[in-house]
Structure 1
Amino acid sequence: MTTRRNFLKSTGLATAALGLGMPQMAFSASKANPLFKISLAEWSLNKQLFSGKMDHLDFPALTKKAGIEAVEYVNQFFKDRAKDMAYLKEMKTRAAGEGVKSVLIMCDGEGILGAETAKERTQTVENHKKWVEAAKFLGCHSIRVNAYSAVPWSTSEQDYKKSSDLASAGLQELCEFADGFDINVLIENHGGFSSNGKWLAEMIEKADHPRAGTLPDFGNFRIANEDGKAISYDSYRGVDELMPKAKGVSLKPKVWDDMGNEFPLDYSKMIQLVLGHGFQGYVGIEHGEEGREWESIEEIRIELEHVRSILAKEG
């Protein structure tokens, strides 16, 4: 059984470790405006949801029970309900009844944003429009999409540029639609070129739209796998590069270096890095240990609150 003390040791969260490797910063906060807020990504419960042990409609109530007051939905768990107004109303009613904020919808399986042709990219945009509309109805501020492209990952400079050109064109088109609904379109580092922080930051700039943003995921800087070896990008550098356009962050309790090595997350170092960019939005927990999903979620929530409290006192 994982105790709080063991969890602290395994994640590097002991109070003495706060600030390691980072300059001390002063952060201002109040009860009304905390340093950051905490949300829960629905993917944390994916095994329970896919198996039918948990109902998507119960997500807000269960999240509130775990001490978290904001949710990040995943479209896979209500894929055929994006235009079902009765179902969306029930989602909205349940969240409101619990006092739970709907933050965003993570969208998968709706086409390649960086497809080769303008016609294919436009079709991908069309596929995402229903999720923009659903997000607006539910009271979310954003949808999260993927920056996959027709160009497979490689070390080629030509592929690097072409994939960026294609993805930015699709993103810009989707942002133009989303702007009419006051919804942001966020790109998560999610494998391939997108897990290269420099590539993703440049692609967002190239899209050149105020609705285009990022959702840095601490643990998703694994670019590819070749011959059984991970190719990765330093998580701390990647998050730092993506934070200027971030509208949220996703917390996984692991990080990567440039050599394909995985390490436990240094919570204090990462949170200070995030806050150093003036961020005061939601830190979304996206982690659930199989068989003890809710216990592991609550452990992370408690430790985030612990770090937040100490940083607020130091500020």
Structure 2
Amino acid sequence: MKRRNFIRKSSSYGLAITLLGTYACKETKKKEMEEEGSAEMSGELAEPFFKLSLAQWSIHNMIREDGVDPYTFAELAKNWGFTGLEYVSQLYKEELEAADYSKEAMDAFVAKCNAESGKHGLENLIIMIDGQGDLATADAAQRKSAVENHYKWVDAAQAMGCHSIRVNLSGSTEPDEWTASSIDGLTQLATYAKDKNINVIVENHGGLSSNAEMLANVMVKVAMENCGTLPDFGNFCIRKEEDQCVEQYDIYKGVKELMPHAKAVSAKSHDFDADGNETVIDYVQMLQIVKDAGYTGHIGVEYEGSQLGEEAGIIATKELMINAAKKVI
């Protein structure tokens, strides 16, 4: 073969191979894009509309019974795939109460929490306050004392970069009395917290606070931007007898009524079926309510079950939230 003909034929073969390769590459890319689009349509690649935080109460048995240091909270949450932290004041009660909640003790608490959350790159979100007095008591003097007992926690939340403290409204079982006392207690505390850029948020947490319609009405009457709710998927028992709930508020109606005032959300869980669903709470329905309210912040996992250990229960709840979010419209 003459050199000229060889070069011409070689060039033709090379061009054919190049064109064939380009076509194959385009077809592969097209297929990948189609598969990616299909996955997005099915929700497989879509990120949840919320961020994941962990309520420290989920590890209260580890801390109280197994001796786990509460200051390892950030490390544990990081290892389990969370980005936000929701602290529980009573899990630090022993050391703080021993120091009579002195400024030095509170400052040390703040410093340790900040050091750990900073080291592990997590965001401090909420401190859940218990045992500091009844903000909804009918006794005005006791109510004022309870408000002032919460001041140190507002200051701690500010120093930790949290957005809120969670408080309880126990108080009277008489609706009008409870409502009036709740409005007054919250107004006093939210007024103090306002200057610190801290929200005062109320969880449906038993008693009349689990009557969502009444709690929402309190929020309307307080009418302060930094006072809101923390809807919990599972805390809607208004009255118990012998540790059994005898008066239960509709959990879906309750969350829907509290969401317009929500500054955080708590995903309560207890037990799971063979498919990984919560046995009592329909997470798809709950997350649909939350999304429909326009909420896109953190949702805190709060496992309280006995079927699984705390670590397994936390992970099961987290996986359920991610899977349920794919089914939300």
Q: TM-score range by the shorter chain?
A: 0.7 to 0.9
Letter in 1 for 2:300: G
Letter in 2 for 1:43: W
Letter in 1 for 2:284: S
Task: Show the counterpart of 1:296.
Answer: 313
Q: How far apart, CA to CA, are the structure 1 residues paired with 2:222 and 2:260?
A: 15
Q: Which protein, 1 or 2, shows the higher relative CO under an 8 Å CA cutoff with sep ≥ 6? A: 1
Task: Show the counterpart of 1:283.
Answer: 299
| Structure 1 residue matching 2:321: 3-state secondary structure | helix
Percent of paired sites with the same residue: 37
- 2:59–2:310 CA contact under 8 A, matched in 1: yes
Task: Show the counterpart of 2:115.
Answer: 93
Q: Within 5 A, what are the aligned runs for 1:110-189?
A: 110-149=132-171, 151=172, 153=173, 159-189=174-204
Letter in 2 for 1:267: Y
- 2:136–2:178 CA contact under 8 A, matched in 1: yes
Q: How far apart, CA to CA, are the structure 2 residues paired with 1:279 and 1:37?
A: 10
| Structure 2 residue matching 1:89: 3-state secondary structure | helix
Cα distance, 1:101–1:224 mapped onto 2, change above 3 Å: same
Task: Show the counterpart of 1:68.
Answer: 82
Q: How far apart, CA to CA, are the structure 1 residues paired with 2:139 and 2:304?
A: 38
Letter in 1 for 2:318: R
Cα distance, 1:229–1:120 mapped onto 2, change above 3 Å: closer
Task: Show the counterpart of 1:21.
Answer: none
| Structure 1 residue matching 2:259: 3-state secondary structure | helix
Cα distance, 1:269–1:229 mapped onto 2, change above 3 Å: closer
Task: Show the counterpart of 2:19.
Answer: none
| Structure 2 residue matching 1:67: 3-state secondary structure | coil
Per-residue deviation, 1:52 = 4.7
- Cα distance per residue 1:193-223 (max 9 Å; x no partner): 0111101101111122111100011110011
Of stretches 204-213 and 56-65 in structure 1, the one that deviates more from structure 2 is 204-213
TM-score of the pair, normalised by structure 1? 0.80
Per-residue deviation, 1:65 = 0.6
Q: How far apart, CA to CA, are the structure 1 residues paired with 2:62 and 2:162?
A: 24
Q: Within 5 A, what are the aligned runs for 1:1-315?
A: 35-79=49-93, 80-81=95-96, 83=103, 84=105, 85-149=107-171, 151=172, 153=173, 159-226=174-241, 230-253=246-269, 264-290=280-306, 292-311=309-328
Runs of 4+ residues deviating >4 angstroms: none
Q: Any stretches of 5+ residues in structure 1 without a counterpart?
A: 1-26, 154-158, 256-261
Task: Show the counterpart of 1:14.
Answer: none
Quick check: which one's helix share is greater? 2
Q: How far apart, CA to CA, are the structure 2 residues paired with 1:87 and 1:267?
A: 35
How many residues align structurally? 270
Per-residue deviation, 1:48 = 1.4
Cα distance, 1:229–1:178 mapped onto 2, change above 3 Å: closer
- 2:270–2:304 CA contact under 8 A, matched in 1: no
Q: Any stretches of 5+ residues in structure 2 without a counterpart?
A: 1-42, 272-277
Q: How far apart, CA to CA, are the structure 2 residues paired with 1:219 and 1:229?
A: 12
Letter in 1 for 2:127: I
| Structure 1 residue matching 2:134: 3-state secondary structure | coil
Per-residue deviation, 1:307 = 2.7
Cα distance, 1:298–1:263 mapped onto 2, change above 3 Å: closer
Per-residue deviation, 1:91 = 1.1
- 2:301–2:314 CA contact under 8 A, matched in 1: yes
Per-residue deviation, 1:68 = 1.1
| Structure 2 residue matching 1:68: 3-state secondary structure | coil
Letter in 1 for 2:285: K
